[in-house]
Chain A
């Protein structure tokens, strides 16, 4: 029988920490600090709008790029939030989560052999998606001493004549790092100088705790070089609705839309109607969630300092990324032992790239009460290890 599989897909390595996830999957009574999604329910007004759209019988396809009403709201939102104007007719595509946007962004822009710069630790899908699109992923390992921000030196050291795209994943999952305007400026200059494009994954943009989120697309010369990816999952607590979007210059968006059209047709209709309500009327709810995350973030930073755990202060997303190097174990060993002995699941930093070795991703998408229980066990575990 012929091999049914594509060479390309079989060459993509499964996640190195699959064993850890298998163990987690079997733990029934464990508590967790391991999720990558909000603990809040989607705001009721949004859910209600979703229900209403079903009652109204809005169960048909929308146009490929998405409901015009939603695209208009997205453009208004982005102008308000990041100060970049997009034409709602042909510079926005509504996608099935930010994940689809990452995939079709690469596919629209990469030719075989083009290099894609991927700063790590970062979300797990950039590397395989770039490879599946024919690109060659090139990892830039970010440094703890820079609080896992990308520097111009690191960027320029990785650029070759084949480099085409830089992925910019800030606010960052898993480190919680953000990039300020001052930190983005030298990156933008280098991008322009070396004639690169940027895929800026801003899915956590609503969740920053030190000044407003800044998009690299708003810097001089960057709008025409950037695809901005965002969505409703994190800031609006809508992970299960699978709704995101990508914006960029018409030249790229026209081609990107073709992929979306043939592969997906359109994003879920009732999620799109619900999202219109999210953008129009959920400012206050989003603010309340951000304040809650911020309180938990301060609490964790202060608790880790008290426990003497090395950790920089993160200002974005809902993750904190402490170092566990002092214990002389790999991240995976630590996470397994912690799960086994204290029944708390955390994610080893290596899930997000080799340079995550020596770190843990701890999510604070949990109530303060839950965090307290988990931290008590964490402290007990650390004390045992230090003895």
Chain B
């Protein structure tokens, strides 16, 4: 990958609210290059979307997140892909990954309440033919997400002026 593309991605991974002119200055290139590369990477699906990190707790919105381990038995002609598809089409599912080790899929889900998450697992997930077992772990507290530490940073410890 060309350096500029990588630099753009490194920057945008942390901050997608890009001022194109400013980013061009920071990277020592011109505005047109930055615009062109971002547009190209959006088209190539290298940049797949833009999200906002929200602390829903602070926003006063109740939300329950859970990690669900799912064990499945893939059937002939219906590999993992097909099963994953049946699961990821539910809007409650925020991510699903195929995992090596003791179980097959790790599903993360967002719900409004414990009840809602439990109902999803018992009524939607478990009844899928290929699913042989699930284990649901509710998230109690998030400390770091997407490389960002959520705790408040301590104030400046450095002296005002040092030579």
Contact = CB atoms under 8 A, between A and B. Distances in A.
A48 to B, nearest CB: 16
Contact of B161 (A21, A173, A294, A296): A21
Contacts of A173: 163
Interface in A36-76: 36-37, 39
B23 to A, nearest CB: 9
A295 B161 contact: no
Contacts of A27: 160
B27 interface: yes
Contacts of B25: 298-299, 302
Interface in A274-328: 291, 294-296, 298-299, 302
A351 interface: yes
B117 to A, nearest CB: 33
A134 B27 CA distance: 48
Given A298-B26, A299-B25, A24 B162 contact: no
Interface in B31-57: none
Interface string B17-30: 00000100111100
A329 interface: no
B151 interface: no
B105 to A, nearest CB: 31
A158 interface: no
A110 B161 CA distance: 32
B26 A295 contact: yes
A352 B162 CA distance: 12
Contact of B160 (A24, A291, A298): A24
B158 A39 contact: yes
Given A295-B27, A298-B28, A36 B22 contact: no
Contact of A30 (B22, B28, B160): B160
A36 B28 contact: no
- Most chain A C-beta atoms within 10 Å of own C-beta, residue among B26, B28, B159, B163: B163
- Most chain B C-beta atoms within 10 Å of own C-beta, residue among A30, A173, A298, A368: A298
B160 A35 contact: yes
Nearest to B153: A41
A30 B161 CA distance: 11
Nearest to A347: B161
Interface of B: 7, 10, 22, 25-28, 158-163
